[in-house]
Amino acid sequence: MTARVSPVARRLFDGRNWHENAALAHADGVVTEVIPGGAPEVALIVPGLVDLQVNGGGAVQFNDDTSAEGLAAICAAHRTLGTTSILATLITDTAAKTAEALAACAEARSAGQAGLAGLHLEGPHLDPRRKGTHAEELVRPMEEADLQRILAAEDSCGHLLVTLAPEAATAEQVARLVAGGVQVSLGHSDCSAETAAEYFAAGASMTTHLFNAMSQMAHRTPGLVGATLDAGTVSCGLIADGHHVSDVAMRIALRGKRGPGHVFLVSDAMAATGSDLAEITLNGRTIYRAGGRLTLADGTLAGADISMLDALRYCVEGLEVPLDEALRMATLYPALAAGLTGVGHLGAGAQADFLVLDNALQLQSVWVGGDCSKGEGGA
């Protein structure tokens, strides 16, 4: 075991608490402890960011390149932007494409792909009334073959998350998925709060991109939004880019979420993130990039043009979320929501994945397993 020490940070955030003038001791890629340091060499050290909804990056869209090589490119692109753990996300597609995605994730995980925590299947079992950018002709109810395909892949894909709508899958199917080790998130649904509560009771423990593509909260019909905020067992992703959800709605959700579940950040990033692409394609349709937005020709939002670090900064600068809480929303909370115990924090036993930021929250370097992969510095 080779002991090493990070640069000394004026402030080090371990996922829960701040440490002043501190460094991170680690060995063989694993954190051993936070230790007092001397004169600070860098401004901030924080855990590597955790993103549970990554559709693409670095000019690669997972739906278009469902291979281990495609996953490697996506992980590498997001790593350069400060995200060190992702769930690669397949947007609604054919059964054959889903099988390819599961096989690619299993192959990449078997090969030790850095940063790939697992797979997120967002659809195709959704409510077509709330399809968003998902291709309507591919949206369909869950059948036994779909359920068995997912369950069979649970052992080989790391963490496996499925977004579905109650309109397209039964509560019994949800319970069977959860019993088989698969996490279920509700999304792209027009369901009532009562129906959502039934599915939460069946084992669904997450809601996908709160407010977007779902029944909204009214004073007598609280919908999926209201059910999610009121359910302490449920955590939910949020796209904080200033386009998907208004600042007022985000502030209300952050104040109103019942615990112990949390609101956490997701990027919903597409292939454009980490690239200079002006447009991309999804299921044969062109997605245009302009003004910080990704849209179909009709103006429908189609994923987001942000990284997790962008979302974190938006929370701090636009929503006035305290920095420590914004960091938790981008690290600890998504890790807790997905049961990823070794990432999202810098406690003893965690992976030594961390970022060096300056005081303006600009990325200076990325460290994976204790090794610097971007920027200056070393230990």
Is 133 known as a binding-site position? yes
Angle at which helix 193-202 crosses helix 223-230, to 10 degrees, equals 50
Strands 42-47 and 9-13: parallel
Nearest to 268 by CA among 233, 218, 308: 308
3-state secondary structure (DSSP) of residue 290: strand
Q: How many CB atoms lie within 10 A of CB 54?
A: 30
Torsion of CA 105, 121, 330, 24, to 10 degrees: -20
Q: 303: annotated binding-site residue?
A: yes
377 is in an annotated binding site: no
Q: Which two tokens stand for residue 345?
A: 């924090």
Does residue 268 have an active-site annotation? yes
**Catalytic residue (choose from 241, 268, 305, 353):** 268
Query: Which amino acid does the sequence have at 170?
Result: T
Q: Is 240 annotated as a binding residue?
A: no
Beta strands 363-368 and 285-290, pairing class? unpaired
CA 283 to each of CA 55, 138, 150, 173, 324: distance values in angstroms, whole numbers, following the listed order: 13, 9, 22, 27, 39
Q: CA 4 to CA 306: how far, in whole Å?
A: 33
Token output for 126: 């959704």
d(CA 311, CA 210): 14
Residue 188 known to bind ligand? yes
Which token pair is 146? Answer: 């779909």
60: left (phi over 0), alpha (psi -120 to 50) or beta: beta
Establish whether 219 is an annotated binding residue. Answer: no
- 244: annotated binding-site residue? yes
Confirm or deny that 122 is annotated as ligand binding.
Answer: yes
Nearest-angstrom CA–CA distance, 346 and 314:
23
CA separation, residue 22 to residues 7, 38, 282 (Å): 9, 8, 45
Find the helix packing angle between 95-110 and 68-79, rounded to 10°. 70
Annotated binding residues for Zn(2+): 122, 188, 209
Annotated binding residues: 122, 133, 188, 209, 212-213, 220, 244, 301-303
Annotated binding residues for substrate: 133, 212-213, 220, 244, 301-303
Give the catalytic positions in this structure. 268
